[in-house]
Structure 1
């Protein structure tokens, strides 16, 4: 009897331990499911604002959006500088924004807000300054805040490169202008000197001011070639010229004789 009771107690203990282990496994599974659901619910979502009315600031956007869900980061793109300069000239110094991005802690809330508030009035009350403006919203699928920061960094680099190119172009233009100013001063000095000089020295002043080189003539080219020739070549050239002169003299001396001969022959015929 005692043995049967001890065996029953051992079986009961084993069953109790098995139930405890099963309960522990169920608790671990429940914790894992809760962690998964927490991770799913904590994925943020970003909504794009295509229209920002004048005088709207990030605090206004946060107050309006926080009614629908928990809002994280907000970024509003400022208008261009030339637009602000025009406004300053017109007398308005208010800084306005063109577009914006709003980050919600839960992407499901962001989707719901984008679909429900798109093309609806911004203000719920008529006294609100933004009552007549409409929301222009869109949920950005698979878009994260790091993508926005990368885009802003890229635009900043592009803007800096454009500024460097404009500065270098302005420097080139100023250097070209200064060079032309110096040339005009030199020409003005030359004109004053030409006007002060007498009429006989006009050609010399023109040659000094313009400093141009005229193309050489054929005689100058031949003379330069002759100067470059050796002494032997010069002697040969002189001898040839002397022979040509002798031949010409002989031909001139034989002309009267030939004339007499031909005349006599003609007279006899």
Structure 2
């Protein structure tokens, strides 16, 4: 298995390089949103000979006009062709409502928006000219009850793949939206994974995907049990995400801890 870390911005690349040099990380998942102003050669100069993945957070491909999508794809295609990422991934969420930005990203109405989502996924894949992975959402509303069922239909009908986030699935379970077991049919075919820390909001008591805390032990234990039970695929990746607590010592500690739980030695692929 390849262990990766998320490159949030050009400012974090020295930390990423340090973790790779120490053998704690094997690749970098680049957040395209914060690098798109740079030519791909700049990324390669900062991380020479390092395998890369490409993660798109706020493409808003479900909300943009087709003309806007074509323009965005024109920026991203040269990146994809030059960097040859392990995978390219995106999110199925809503950032705006009636033209105005929402205070928090919102889960989709899978029943009402289902056909539009499928149509847009096909268009986005064609414009980027690449296979796409879509990450499961950390549900906090009842809409999440339909998420796994919709993902199964979506992936089959659009020939896309799942980027399975262990923490997001557990958050939905903790929030009493949907059990992690709903994802089992799709997890068996997944090859690329995320894990991150989360926090409990003090007023609502909901688990919120914050990426700024250590990964919960129950998430690590479930992840370990899954990898032990499911035969290894040709290639398998796991990105340990840190967003709001980007400190070298924290990242080191988490990578060492997760490698120990999963039984992966430093630098092992």
Higher relative contact order (CA 8 A, sep 6+): 2
